[in-house]
Chain A
């Protein structure tokens, strides 16, 4: 009997995964521990190894199709072994999973099976998606059915270099027919369009809707240059990661009442202590110091380590510190768990390891979830000040700007000091201005405490 390959459950709360790449083809030999395929989760890509030795007999789930975790995605076995027609049912899902740490408050009422899910692509033998642990996602609007269009109408649209998707169909079942295209062209004043023949040809080839192009030539004539520009300006689909960022941050910024408190921190002493430590072979970054100061301040200001849905506040006893790491094509936030229990050196070691994994794209979903507060540091980017958007499931984020020499009043005299601005974003539903001011100043005070850093870096 061939061994069934299950879609792994990369994160505690992952319900669905997509194979982005099969590294083996059907018929390829597979050694134990060899990479079989890569999966994409909401957060990142992950490689999945084989537990079995043999030959990849069959790929059940192709690339690009999201399936519930534990679904059978393929079979490994001995050459010629029989593969079951319908994949066997996966093991029953665990009952009553604990409420997730990262989500907002659990739904107060049991959630009925979401109807939208019933329509999700069904794989034979795939389990029903686990009962929602959080409010079910809004029923995904059924993807718009591709608009039916007759071959003749499509050819006309192609000849005219227009996008037929914008045309209402009057044919049977709403099919777009030739007359609809002609009516649309008349309504849009297509006849008055001035297009050079070469531009029209290029627009056809590139699939540019000529009606969307403004002509830059004489008397508004559309030229090849205009079409080239239209091609260059054509919307490109965002990566999965960017779409997730967009979705999460839009949700946060539009549903969380943000307010912002900025302080200027005199980093002169800390800078000197770091330089000395570095000279001794103990390099610490500003981020290490800020992280440490933030973890300490969070234990003093538990509101910033809590989360609210507007009706209830949930405190988290553990500080799970998120560190925003910018990547070439986006942004990930690895999370240092139980940061309040870590020494300065441990905290640094943990964050260095996570950031390195983040840059290599090797974070597991669990390493990117469960944060309770996040630091976003743009200090290396030469900025005066900025504000950040709170990550969903958290109540604050600290935006750290560049440390810059500034004229500074000290003991009644203007001197040059290394000044760094930082701005905390806070969820006003559970945090007021005074709390935020206290919190951000508590961080500032620690950063300006020369003795503290001297001790920490010598220890």
Chain B
């Protein structure tokens, strides 16, 4: 216990001996060794993570139960309500679960102290008198919701024991609305004078759980004054010792500020218990043409199928991915091969799709989830950016998050402003994530397999424009390493750095430049924005002295600017001309095909840019 107190205080002090090596602090403290998956500084942000962890317990049949702590304030938050809905889905327990119906083993423990920061939940910002009522809206069994006297230690103990037992029986989820109180302000600067009365505070203090519990023990004859005093002294002295020791402990080394940002591990060998699980049927058949070519979207499917057959920890879920085989038929057949335990539809709940993946990954699975359109990543950006990207670092590398979020870009199909965005640059700006964007069927398969095996969270971007592009893809197992650019065409006169659908544009432009200008263009497909293969780009620029950087993203804030900046910084003397960018116009994707053609960049734009610097 003393070591626990010491490591906790050390973390509060930002020391290297802290639970999170000084990377987390009080708001993100975690102890994964004992299954503590972290405090969360985003109100409600931890609830879908807990739900994902419960999915992992269900899937792994561990018999363990997840207890998810969140305050009354969090139960007004969208992702929390989404998580309640998620946890109570019928498919966990009804005929869809076939032989293994089992409710999610999770207890939503509301630490209901009746205040958010200062707002009153009871009669100000919510419309139910008891938060426990919320449960009725999510499940026919009302999640076995209970209101618990949180000031009574034994009452809480009993309630949690009942709830855990229900969960172990597959009757989860359970919701406990635990009445308690916060004696102090939300923070040191809050004297609690404006929003509540002294009388109220005194009334709650009169039923203080420590004092009440002592009284119960004394009445039962289990505790006398001397023992109580001795316990108090022992605890006080232990805490003081731990605090002094923590204060004197070593600080983290400044040069290690970026240590733990990424893990360099990957799943090279699948542990025997998860390797080569039994399948429900054969792998989906993917027809190759005479030259061995398949569609880009089939390469995605093949990669998923191969990795799921390789490792039972790989599960796949998203909106409409199961029976329907996703909106683009890119995942058709996976349900039949792997069953609904591993391939299932989800509610339209992007934040939960990503958030549960974070929790499932923390708890030992290797989830692959799908966002139907990349635009929806903004719906789940907290879960991607604040949770998936950050937990390896914030936990001081206690947790690895081997998860893949697949997101497809709808640009070029006339879907308008909310279904067409090329947003990978936004996520490349969030350290902690890998961002991958294949341009060919071959790369799509190899990169997706590598992403699934990698132990970092990967945002895997696909282009719907490329789904029907064909390429030669070996039927056998191979991976394309993350962070390795690919020279799609070699040349000595001009470099085009690009990714995603811009690669095809660049290759067309290169052909035009060869034919009309006699220029030999080198097309460098970076394939991954993060990790970025700077070396290959710089080497090409050193060879050619001229460079155009192209993507389908709008230019403002695009990763193309980052690449140009690195070239300027590290290869300035190699340049024979300014480095130019080609991207979409700084605007919003319009619906009209005429307008969208004017909006998106194309091969002609790349040729024009190239000619400006030739």
- In the bound complex, how far is the Cα of B574 from the Cα of A155, in angstroms? 8
Q: Which residues of A contact B612 (CB under 8 A)?
A: 172
Decide yes or no: A178 and B545 within 8 Å by CB, A150-B577, A151-B572, A155-B573 being known contacts.
yes
- Judge whether A171 is part of the interface by a CB distance below 8 angstroms: yes
Tell me the smallest distance from the CB of B244 to a CB of chain A, in Å: 51
Across the interface, which residues of A come within 8 angstroms of B576, CB to CB? 150-153, 171, 177-179
Q: Are A177 and B577 interface neighbours, CB within 8 A?
A: yes
Docked complex Cα distance between A151 and B575 (Å): 5
Most buried by B among A152, A154, A175, A178: A152
When distances are taken between beta carbons in the complex, the residues of chain A under 8 Å from B575 are 150-152
Q: Report the separation of the CA atoms of residues A154 and B576 in the bound assembly, to the nearest whole angstrom.
A: 9
Contact A151 B613, beta carbon cutoff 8 Å: no
Q: Is the CB of B574 within 8 A of A172?
A: no
CA distance A154 to B545 in the complex (A): 12
Which residues does chain B contribute within 8 Å of A154, judged by CB atoms? 573
- Nearest-Cβ distance from residue A265 to partner chain B, whole angstroms: 69
Shortest Cβ distance from B219 into chain A, in angstroms? 76
What per-residue 1/0 map shows which CB atoms of B542-577 lie under 8 Å from chain A?
Answer: 000100000000000000000000000000111111
For B573, list chain A residues within 8 Å (CB): 151-152, 154-155
Which B residues are in CB contact (< 8 Å) with A152?
Answer: 545, 573-576
User: Chain B 531-542, CB within 8 Å of chain A: the 1/0 string?
Assistant: 000000000000
A171 and B572 alpha carbons, distance in the complex (Å): 17
Closest residue on chain B to residue A158 by CB atoms = B573
A12 to B572, CA, bound (A): 52
A151 to B612, CA, bound (A): 17
Chain A neighbourhood of B577, CB < 8 A: 150, 171-172, 175, 177
For residue B545, which residues in chain A have a CB less than 8 angstroms away from its CB?
A: 150, 152, 177-178
A359-380 at interface with B (beta carbon < 8 Å): none
The distance in angstroms between the C-alpha atoms of A194 and B154, with both chains bound, is 96
What residues on B are CB-neighbors of A155 within 8 Å?
A: 573-574
Within 8 A of B (CB), among A166-215: 171-172, 175, 177-179
User: Nearest Cβ in chain B — how far from A428, in angstroms?
Assistant: 59
Considering only residues 123-156 of chain A, those with a C-beta below 8 Å from chain B are 150-155
Instruction: For the complex, give the distance between the alpha carbons of A172 and B575 in Å.
Output: 14
A171–B612 Cα distance when bound, in Å, is 9
| A320-338 Cβ-contact flags toward B at 8 Å (1 or 0) | 0000000000000000000
| Smallest CB separation, B545 vs chain A (Å) | 4
B492 CB to closest chain A CB, in angstroms?
Answer: 12
Whose C-beta in chain B lies nearest to the C-beta of A177? B576
- The chain B residue sitting closest to A153, CB to CB, is B576
Find chain B residues with CB under 8 A from A151 CB: 572-576
User: What is the minimal beta-carbon distance from A363 to any residue of chain B, in angstroms?
Assistant: 50
Q: How many whole Å from A163's CB to the nearest CB in chain B?
A: 18
How far is B545's CA from A171's CA once the two chains are assembled, in angstroms? 13
Mostly helix, strand, loop or mixed at chain B's interface? Answer: helix
Distance between Cα atoms of A150 and B575 in the complex (Å): 6
Are A172 and B572 neighbours in the complex by a CB distance under 8 Å?
A: no
Q: In the complex, which residues of chain B have a beta carbon less than 8 angstroms from the beta carbon of A175?
A: 577
Cα of A179 to Cα of B573 in the assembled complex, Å: 15
Nearest CB of chain A from residue B520's CB, rounded to whole Å: 13
Per the 8 Å Cβ criterion, residues 327-341 of B in contact with A are none
Which chain B residues numbered 365 to 413 have a C-beta less than 8 Å away from chain A? none
Set of chain B residues within 8 Å of A172, measured between Cβ atoms:
577, 612-613
User: Looking across the interface, which residue of chain A has its beta carbon closest to that of B575?
Assistant: A151
- Which residue on A lies nearest to B568, using beta carbons? A151
Task: Give the one of A151, A154, A155 with max B CB within 10 A.
Answer: A151
Which of A150, A154, A155, A172 counts the most chain B CB atoms within 10 A? A150
| B572 cross-chain contacts in A, Cβ below 8 A | 151
| Closest residue on chain B to residue A150 by CB atoms | B576
B residues 307-338 near A (Cβ < 8 Å) are none
- Cα of A182 to Cα of B218 in the assembled complex, Å: 97
Assembled-state Cα–Cα distance A179/B574 (Å)? 13
**A150 to B545, alpha carbons, bound, how many Å?**
9
The minimal Cβ–Cβ distance linking B225 to chain A, given in whole angstroms, is 71
A206-241 CB contacts (< 8 Å) to partner B: none
Docked CA distance A179–B576 (Å): 9
Q: How far, in angstroms, from A155 to B576 measured CA to CA in the complex?
A: 10
Measured between C-beta atoms, what is the minimum distance from B440 to chain A in Å?
A: 31
With CB as the reference atom, state the residue of chain A lying closest to B612.
A172
Nearest CB of B to A55, in Å: 42
By a CB distance below 8 angstroms, the chain A residues around B574 are: 151-152, 155
Which residues does chain A contribute within 8 Å of B613, judged by CB atoms? Answer: 171-172
The distance in angstroms between the C-alpha atoms of A172 and B610, with both chains bound, is: 12
Q: Which residue of B lies closest to A159 (CB)?
A: B573
Bound: A177/B573 CA distance, A: 12
A149 to chain B, nearest CB (A): 10
Q: How far is the CA of A151 from the CA of B577 in the complex (A)?
A: 8
Given the complex, which residues of B lie within 8 Å of A178, measured CB to CB? 545, 576
Q: How far is the CA of A167 from the CA of B532 in the complex (A)?
A: 38
Give the docked Cα–Cα distance between A242 and B573 (Å): 39
- What distance in Å separates the Cβ of A449 from its nearest Cβ neighbour in chain B? 77
CA separation between A153 and B574, bound complex, in Å? Answer: 8
Chain B residues, CB < 8 A from A153: 576
Give residues 205-263 of B contacting A (CB, 8 Å): none
Contact string, B571-586, partner A, CB cutoff 8 A, digits 1/0?
0111111000000000
- Please, which residue of chain A has its CB at the minimum distance from the CB of B577? A150
Q: How far is the CA of A171 from the CA of B546 in the complex (A)?
A: 12
Q: Cα distance A171–B576 when bound, in Å? A: 9
Determine how close the nearest CB of chain B comes to the CB of A272; give it in whole angstroms. 77
Contacts of A150 in B (CB 8 A): 545, 575-577
In the complex, the chain B residue whose C-beta lies closest to that of A179 is: B576
Interface residues of B in 598-614 (CB under 8 A from A): 612-613
Q: What does the 1/0 interface line of B585-604 toward A look like (CB < 8 Å)?
A: 00000000000000000000
Residues of chain B in range 507-542 having any CB-CB distance to chain A below 8 Å = none
Tell me how far the C-beta of A36 lies from the nearest C-beta in chain B, rounded to whole angstroms: 42
Residues of B within 8 A of A177 (CB): 545, 576-577
Task: Give Cα A344 to B575, complex, Å.
Answer: 74
In Å, the complex CA distance between A153 and B573 comes to: 8
B212 shortest CB reach to chain A, Å: 67
**B residues less than 8 Å from A179 (CB atoms):** 576
Give Cα distance in the complex from A155 to B542, angstroms: 12
Alpha-carbon distance A152/B573, docked complex (angstroms): 5
Nearest Cβ on chain B to A78's Cβ, whole angstroms: 43
In the complex, A178→B575 CA distance in Å?
9
Q: How far is the CB of B320 from chain A (nearest CB, A)?
A: 51
Residue of chain B at shortest CB distance from A171: B577
Min C-beta distance of A160 to chain B, whole Å: 14
Q: How far is the CB of A226 from chain B (nearest CB, A)?
A: 28
Least distance between A370 CB and chain B CB atoms (Å): 55
Question: Nearest chain B CB to A180's CB is how many angstroms away?
Answer: 10
**B572 → chain A, closest Cβ, in Å?**
5
Report A356 CB to chain B, min CB distance, Å: 56
When chains A and B are docked, how far (Å) is the Cα of A232 from the Cα of B575? 33
For the complex, what is the distance from the CA of A292 to the CA of B575, rounded to whole Å? 71
Complex CA–CA separation, A151 to B572 (angstroms): 6
Residue of A at shortest CB range from B613?
A: A172
Chain B, Cβ-Cβ closest to A180? B576
A150 to chain B, nearest CB (A): 4
Nearest 9 Cβ contacts at the A-B interface: A152-B576, A155-B573, A150-B576, A152-B545, A177-B576, A178-B576, A151-B575, A151-B573, A151-B572
Question: B residues within 8 Å of A by Cβ?
Answer: 545, 572-577, 612-613
Task: Give the interface of A toward B (CB within 8 A).
Answer: 150-155, 171-172, 175, 177-179
20 residue pairs of the A-B complex, CB under 8 angstroms, read: A150-B545, A150-B575, A150-B577, A151-B573, A151-B574, A151-B576, A152-B545, A152-B573, A152-B575, A152-B576, A153-B576, A155-B573, A155-B574, A171-B577, A175-B577, A177-B545, A177-B576, A177-B577, A178-B545, A179-B576
Q: Given contacts A150-B545, A152-B573, A171-B576, list 14 more A-B pairs with CB under 8 A.
A: A150-B576, A151-B572, A152-B545, A152-B574, A152-B575, A153-B576, A154-B573, A155-B573, A171-B613, A172-B577, A172-B612, A172-B613, A175-B577, A178-B576
